[in-house]
Chains A and B, each alone.
Chain A
Amino acid sequence: MPTPERHQHIFPNGLVLLAEHMPAVKSAAFSLLLPAGAIYDPTEGLGTSGLLSEWMIRGAGSRNSRELIDDLDNLGVSHRVSSQTVHLGISAATLGRNLIPALRILADVARRPHLPDDEFDSVRALALQGLRSLEDDPGSKIMVELRRRHFREPWGRHTLGTAEGVANLTPDSVREFHRMLVHPAGAILAAAGEIDWSELREVVETLFGGGKSAGSEPLPAGGAGPSRDHILKETQQVQIGIAFPLVPLPHPDSYHARAASAILGGFSSARLFTEVREKRGLCYTVSSGYESYRDRAALICHAGTSTDRAQQTLDVMLSEIRRLADDGVEPEELETMRAGLKSSWIMQQESSLSRSGQLAADWYYLNRIRSLAEISAALDALAPDSVSAFCQKLDLDQMTILTLGPTALEFPA
């Protein structure tokens, strides 16, 4: 199979442009990460970034709301403008020949949105309904509330914000947020698929050039917690969320963290699935994942189970986490983890959208793009002893446990 070509360029205003030409695909995609996510929301206006992401598509540049959507649809562009914890993201995937036209329209969305007064109330109504829908979805609610308790403010924020925060927003406050935060400086634009690098670079320079370079504002670190909590709700199942700190992705030990996370709950023969579901039949959903920002990360576990089996589920999950820290990992588990991660990485080459997202993420974490060879070598270098030693240092004292359901469970001290 032909190898992909990669390119990168940093514009004088600080915008980073990354690209990967994928010879086997006819599509192309891009991911634009703007440092304007929920962590930048004003404290009294939680939900600003989320609301802005919906408002931005209501007309931009020379197009009104309807023309904008119609033109994207006619080009066959699958697009998404969404607020995340750190970034406000704009992504799109389409046929290779339509990438540049799509980029022109979505550059307007980023830089020249109309943000019309007469659409503000409908956008706010959507934000408030989004918050209510979250209350009706216990599996999502537990994760949102777990992150809120585990990560220190503002890193645990949810992009929808709070009902009070959204009620406090005004058209002017959201416009000011856009003016201050949504600009090319500090942004990452990554494209992948059937692309022409020199054309792309020229067009991006026209669309996103100019302006001055600016660093992001340092964020005030606030409080977190409580570390043990229960949310009372009359549901069929009890939701269980557990989080504890891991080293973040830029850390030299991050492959150890990835291995520990995968072996605990990243695949179907992983420990949580095996012990909780396969051997004991305690629940349908149980999993864990590694969630990282640039300077902090956590291993997050989730399970949902009926009331009378919830305590046992929690106990088994906690004992598996403890066993990972005490006894480390087996060579066979490490081999399995390697096969899974390498296969995922190679299969990512079948999707231009996945690749563009990964390129942008690599830059956010590492300020460079990793090659498959680098990742393979790092995975191959992991040894059972080193991963076990890493697991021994897991900071389980900093664990957050949250449950949601009709009855509270007994938590360990």
Chain B
Amino acid sequence: MPFQKTTLPNGLQVIGELDDQAHSVAFGFFVRAGSRDEPPELAGVSHFLEHMIFKGTERRDALAVNRELDRVGAKHNAQTSEEDTIYYLACLPEYQERAFDILSDILRPSLREEDFETEKQVILEEIQMYQDDSMSVAYEEAKSLHFGPHALGRSVLGTEQSVGGLAVDQMRAYFQRYYGPSNMTLAIAGNTRWDDVVRLAETHCGNWFGDSGVRSAVPTSGTRKFEARLRAEDMQETLVGVADAPPVESDDRYPAGLLATILGDHTGSRLYWALIDPGHADGADVSYQAYGQAGSYFSFLSCDPENAQSNLARFADECRLLQADGPTPAELEQAKNKVMARSVLRNERTLYRLMSLGYHWSHRREYLSQEDELRVIAAITLDDVRRVLDRYPLWPQTLFTLGPNTNLTPPR
């Protein structure tokens, strides 16, 4: 699968991994603008802007954007994180010209005031929706408790106050600052020709301009605080733990990913055997999240409120045990086999290939073929895992609990 790259004169980086056996072609714009770039008074502007991108351009109103994307059968969406905002679609190769015309056009939006006010209501509804979901609330609060005043601690969605107070001019200025071509990557995966890609990029994006944004990614680590918050109406107690982990810049992120699998994969992990198999909790998952100059292991537990204290102790025991002794050789091999097989399965989808390609380039200016990634995972040793455990201990952690039981104390 040949990898290709070029940079347009205006600074837009274009990368592609082509595969003439694929059934579809996928395009994505990866913009380095996320919630960590927002000052507190603009909290939520990155995500709000992601919605506004679909509200129309000089050539298309909002309804035309949706209609035309659907008309070419495109599977399209967008997502905003702490780190970046991504706009992507997959379509059949025969539709690539029309699909790319729309996707590139909407990246130069009109940001009309009337649309802004209507969409603000949608965002406020989205914020309310997540407030009805205990796991989402606990995740946001745990992140905030862990990172304290650091920008990574703020919600990607913003708050009802911050979003409610945003003015369209503030969004336009933010767009101007962060959506310049040199602050984004255009990635392409699947069944297309590189000549076509370059021609499309030059034709549709060659005249883009704008600033490249300035990110201050100050290294940070977590507070390891504890809070038990009341949510009397819940039937289950939700527990979220956060521990520091390697940042996206570090090669330690692969061992960290394996550690998260060993500790808290949804099946066959240490937490599975300690909490799910005996029926102590109906949810126990650990995921590894890498940011610029920071990283976290997030652990999510859901259980009967009466068992929250004993499950906190079990969770702490499992973290400390893995920290002290590391995984067994068999456990490491098992985790590798699992992670590598899942990687093969996911990468068969063009859209997933696009996300992986764009992510690596956007964050690390690096191309990693699927074979290379599998080789990197296969080569990880127990020493690598030990090194990561020593640099980023699994315990103590920041702990946040939400539910009817507030009579909880941090485990010893």
Contact = CB atoms under 8 A, between A and B. Distances in A.
B92 A350 contact: no
Contacts of A342: 73, 92
Contacts of A309: 125
B132 A26 contact: no
Contacts of B126: 284
Given A139-B129, A273-B66, A350 B279 contact: no
B342 A236 contact: no
A344 B70 CA distance: 12
Interface in A358-410: none
Interface stretch (A31-39, A68-76, A198-206): A68-76
A73 B268 contact: yes
Interface centre among A72, A73, A121 (most CB of B within 10 A): A73
B282 A126 contact: yes
Contacts of A130: 282
B267 interface: yes
A73 B279 contact: no
A342 to B, nearest CB: 6
Nearest to A285: B129
Given A73-B268, A129-B302, A137-B133, A122 B278 contact: yes
Interface in A259-283: 267-270, 273-274, 277-283
Given A94-B341, A123-B279, A340-B70, A278 B75 contact: no
B6 interface: no
Contacts of B66: 267-269, 273-274, 278
Contact of B63 (A137, A267, A274): A274
B348 A339 contact: no
B131 A236 contact: yes
B369 to A, nearest CB: 14
Contacts of B268: 69-70, 72-73
Contacts of B22: 24, 350
A281 B119 contact: yes
A66 B125 CA distance: 44
Contacts of A93: 345
Contact of B348 (A26, A66, A74, A233): A26
Contact of A1 (B21, B63, B120, B304): B21
Contacts of A236: 128-129, 131-132
Interface stretch (B233-241, B244-252, B386-394): B233-241
Contact of A66 (B75, B124, B273, B281): B273
B261 to A, nearest CB: 9
B334 interface: yes
Contacts of B236: 129, 132-133, 136
B333 interface: yes
Contacts of B118: 278-281
Contact of A350 (B23, B95, B125, B340): B23
A137 B130 CA distance: 10
Interface residues of A, number: 77
Interface residues of B, number: 67
A144 interface: no
A304 interface: yes
A129 B67 contact: no
Contact of B302 (A70, A133, A233, A344): A133
Given A26-B344, A27-B345, A268-B70, A74 B24 contact: no
A136 B282 contact: no
A351 B349 contact: yes
B381 interface: no
A133 B348 contact: no
A319 to B, nearest CB: 18
Nearest to A125: B279
Contacts of A316: none
B74 interface: yes
Interface string A40-57: 000000000000000000
Contact of B125 (A278, A283, A340): A283
Contacts of B75: 343-344, 347
Contact of A122 (B21, B279, B337): B279
A309 B118 CA distance: 13
Interface string A108-141: 0000000000000111111001101101111100
Nearest to A233: B233
Nearest to A277: B122
B132 A346 contact: no
Contacts of A73: 267-268, 334, 337-338
Contacts of A136: 134, 234-236
A336 B70 contact: yes
B275 to A, nearest CB: 10
Interface string B63-104: 100110111111110000000000000111001000000000
B62 interface: yes
Nearest to B233: A234
B94 to A, nearest CB: 10
A132 B307 CA distance: 14
A350 B134 CA distance: 35
B349 A133 contact: no
Contacts of B267: 69, 72-73, 79
B304 A306 contact: no
Nearest to B90: A347
A121 B125 contact: no
Nearest to B19: A24
Contacts of A343: 24, 72-75, 91-92, 95
Given A27-B348, A237-B125, A274-B63, A133 B283 contact: yes
A227 interface: no
Contacts of A233: 233
Interface in B213-249: 233-236
A317 to B, nearest CB: 15
Contacts of B129: 139, 236-237, 284-285, 304
A114 to B, nearest CB: 14
B277 interface: yes
Contacts of B349: 347, 350-351
A76 B337 contact: yes
Interface centre among A75, A129, A305, A353 (most CB of B within 10 A): A129
A335 B234 CA distance: 46
Interface centre among B73, B75, B133 (most CB of A within 10 A): B73
Contacts of B303: 129
A267 B133 CA distance: 25
Interface of B: 21-24, 62-63, 66-67, 69-76, 90-92, 95, 117-126, 128-129, 131-134, 233-236, 267-268, 272-273, 276-283, 302-304, 333-334, 337-338, 340-342, 344-345, 348-350
30 contacts: A24-B21, A27-B344, A66-B273, A69-B268, A74-B334, A98-B341, A122-B279, A124-B279, A125-B280, A126-B282, A129-B304, A130-B282, A136-B235, A137-B133, A269-B69, A273-B66, A278-B63, A279-B63, A280-B118, A281-B117, A284-B123, A336-B70, A339-B95, A340-B73, A346-B92, A347-B24, A347-B90, A350-B22, A350-B350, A352-B348
Given A126-B276, A279-B118, A283-B125, 6 more contacts: A69-B268, A136-B134, A278-B63, A282-B125, A306-B125, A343-B74
For the complex of A and B, the 9 pairs showing the least CB-CB separation, nearest first, are A76-B341, A343-B73, A122-B279, A125-B279, A129-B282, A281-B121, A132-B235, A339-B73, A269-B66
